[in-house]
Amino acid sequence: MSAVHEDLREGGALVLGAGISGLACAHALNRRGVPVRVLELAQRAGGVLRTEVRAGFRFESGPNTVPASARAFRSLCDELGIAGRLVVSSDVSRTRYLFHRGRLVALPASPAALLASPLLSAGAKLRLCSEPLRRLRSRAGASGAEEASLEAFLEERIGREATRTLGGAFVRGVYAAEIDELGAESAFPRLVAEARAAGGLVRAMLRNKRAAASRETQDLPGPASGSRSDLLSFPDGFEELPRALATVLGEDLVLGAAAEGLERVGERWRVITPRGSFEAPRVILALPARACLRLLEPHLPAGATRPLAEVRQASITVVHLGLDAGLLPPGFGFLVPPDAALRGPAPLALGVLFPSNLFPGRAPEDASAVTCIYRTQDLAKVHDPLEQARADLALALGIERPLPRVSLTRVWNDVIPRYAVGHRARVEGLRGALAGSAPGLSLAGSTFDGVSVEDCIASGRGAAQAALDSAAEPAPIRTTNP
Ligand SMILES: Cc1cc2nc3c(=O)[nH]c(=O)nc-3n(C[C@H](O)[C@H](O)[C@H](O)COP(=O)(O)OP(=O)(O)OC[C@H]3O[C@@H](n4cnc5c(N)ncnc54)[C@H](O)[C@@H]3O)c2cc1C
């Protein structure tokens, strides 16, 4: 028989998943005095935020950076008292490369540099430069059926070559996806909205650039940063953030507590885990799509959970290498455009980062840290990801295969959702179905509201606010231990 423990504090919410989305949600509820339990499958908090230290190297197996303009991220750091620990990326990190025709070519930082760059043909440059002359019609939002693919949207604006080379590389870096797999508004809602408001992409970028200098980072907590392309992290790596959140949450964070079942009990929800069952009137699911699907299916009308079944997710293999110093060019790292392999041998990696060029403390004094990022499916025929990483570096840097002092490979399964055409509309539909059939349940995180750390924090905080707004009557959390 189970022993029943009743927690008599008023109100209450259960947050499922202690990735950054769930932690940010729980922290926001906690700050408002709502009793909260975070139930996490793993024995550590943070989800994909993971810093790994080996032989004096500090490797990020998840995110390496957030932009200095990340408002929700900086506010959260402020609330946790760690905004003063944020470090700004070095000036060198502003240089980014594309692998192009067998070598690394710096991405142009200005329109003049673009005209001189070998990355695009003369025809493609002309097409790109004429974009401001072809006005983009403003449109008040789009339903799923109307949404263009990201590839079609960009191609119509900047032409095929720039879309494939610049857009395709960027999308691989963010979503580990190809540009034709994503919906324009679903994957980049702000970009599309700003382009529509400004009448075109170039106009939107110029408008943003002008506004950014005056507003973006100046009133935000943490270090001042000189450029909108500056990036942030922590001296001890990104995992400082989930660690700080876990410390504040204390015993309200329950590790090794996979949500295995969800039951309606009167006006409340019961979550079944190996650590016991937990009850509360509100449950926020900050989980991968498949876990949400399993839990929600019994509570929604047939077909309503289809959006979850349809979300495709990229599995990622990250290969870290600790190398001798002097092998890397100055810069952030490089991306490999989708068509690179059509023009000769190309790295299999989607992108490669040079973390020791970005922040101090990523490698010993006489060494460099390198992180190669692969779609796991692309490695299907590869015997050893480390050998592939060495070969990719040799090809891109024009050197012999580097012999690492230390290496580390981490595989993340089904970890970055691909927002296909109609994703946003489908998520809205799912949220509507939840409100109608399963009041008290809500969704947060990268499966739904954006994949960046900034988007995930904003999503978690938004879900907390919505839970607070909808709370009719405070009710206690009840905990049942097996
Ligand atoms: C390699 C990589 C590099 C990235 N780089 C960047 C970057 O530089 N900048 C950036 O902004 N973003 C980056 N991202 C994206 C960003 O880090 C993620 O989208 C974001 O951290 C996802 O957070 P989340 O909380 O929504 O999901 P997750 O981190 O996936 O968390 C979900 C949590 O739910 C738990 N869980 C699963 N099932 C259950 C269950 N049944 N019950 C309880 N718990 C469960 C999991 O264990 C996990 O802890 C990167 C992502 C990856 C994979």
Per domain, the residue ranges of the chain are 3-47+239-311+420-481, 112-215
pLDDT of 11 reads 74
Least confident of 42-51, 215-224, 468-477: 468-477
b/e map 216-232, b = 16+ CB within 10 Å: bbeebbbbebeeebbbb
Q: Are 441 and 447 in contact (CB under 8 A)?
A: no
Say yes or no to pLDDT of 60 above 90.
yes
pLDDT of 143 reads 47
pLDDT of 450 reads 97
Q: Are 241 and 63 in contact (CB under 8 A)?
A: no
Measured CA to CA in angstroms, residue 129 lies from 8, 100, 115, 132, 225 at distances of 65, 21, 9, 7, 30
Q: Tell me how far apart the alpha carbons of residues 369 and 322 are, in angstroms, rounded to a whole number.
A: 5
Ligand 1, pocket residues at CB < 6 Å: 16-22, 39-42, 47-49, 62-66, 258-259, 286-288, 291, 316, 318, 412, 415-416, 445-446, 451-454, 456
Radius of gyration of the chain (CA): 23
Least confident of 117-121, 150-154, 207-211, 278-282: 207-211
Nearest 10 degrees: Cα torsion 361, 362, 368, 370: -170
Q: Which residue has the higher pLDDT, 476 or 322?
A: 322
Say yes or no to pLDDT of 446 above 60.
yes
**CATH top-level class of 3-47+239-311+420-481:** alpha beta
pLDDT averaged over every residue in the chain: 92
- In this prediction, residue 218 has a pLDDT band, given cuts at 50, 70 and 90, of low
Candidate of 48, 238, 410, 411 to mutate for ligand 1, largest count of ligand atoms within 8 Å of Cβ: 48
The ligand 1 atom nearest the CA atom of 258: 42
Report the pLDDT averaged over residues 185-211.
Answer: 89
| CA distance from start to end of the chain | 7
99 CA distance to ligand 1 centroid (A)? 28
pLDDT of 126 reads 93
Helices (H), 87-183: 111-116, 122-129, 150-158, 160-162, 168-175
Report the pLDDT averaged over residues 210-218.
Answer: 62
Closest CA to 358 of 224, 233, 171, 227: 233
- In this prediction, residue 155 has a pLDDT band, given cuts at 50, 70 and 90, of very high
Q: Tell me how far apart the alpha carbons of residues 39 and 41 are, in angstroms, rounded to a whole number.
A: 7
Number of other residues whose CB lies within 10 A of the CB of residue 211: 11
Place of tokens 């929604």: 300
3-state secondary structure of 188: coil
- In this prediction, residue 167 has a pLDDT band, given cuts at 50, 70 and 90, of very high
pLDDT of 142 reads 47
pLDDT of 469 reads 84
The ligand 1 atom nearest the CA atom of 455: 11
Name the β-bridge partners of 313.
Answer: 417
The ligand 1 atom nearest the CA atom of 45: 49
3-state secondary structure of 59: strand
pLDDT of 8 reads 31
The ligand 1 atom nearest the CA atom of 318: 1
Structure tokens at 460: 């978690």
pLDDT of 139 reads 60
Over residues 315-333, the pLDDT tens digits come to 999 999 999 999 999 999 9
271 CA distance to ligand 1 centroid (A)? 21
pLDDT of 308 reads 94
Q: Does the domain made of 112-215 have the CATH classification 1.10.3110.10?
A: yes
pLDDT of 1 reads 33
324 CA distance to ligand 1 centroid (A)? 31
Q: Are 308 and 296 in contact (CB under 8 A)?
A: yes
Q: Are 201 and 440 in contact (CB under 8 A)?
A: no
In sign, the C-alpha dihedral spanning 374, 376, 379, 384 is positive
Report the pLDDT averaged over residues 263-287.
Answer: 94
pLDDT of 50 reads 98
List CB contacts of 467: < 8 A, sequence separation 6 or more: 13, 29, 34, 282, 284, 442
Report the pLDDT averaged over residues 415-440.
Answer: 95
Measured CA to CA in angstroms, residue 303 lies from 7, 263, 288, 306, 419 at distances of 36, 19, 19, 5, 19
Rounded percentage of the chain residues whose pLDDT exceeds 70:
91
Measured CA to CA in angstroms, residue 252 lies from 7, 18, 265, 411, 421 at distances of 12, 11, 22, 29, 38
Rounded percentage of the chain residues whose pLDDT exceeds 90:
81
pLDDT of 267 reads 87
Nearest Cα residue to atom 25 of ligand 1? 19
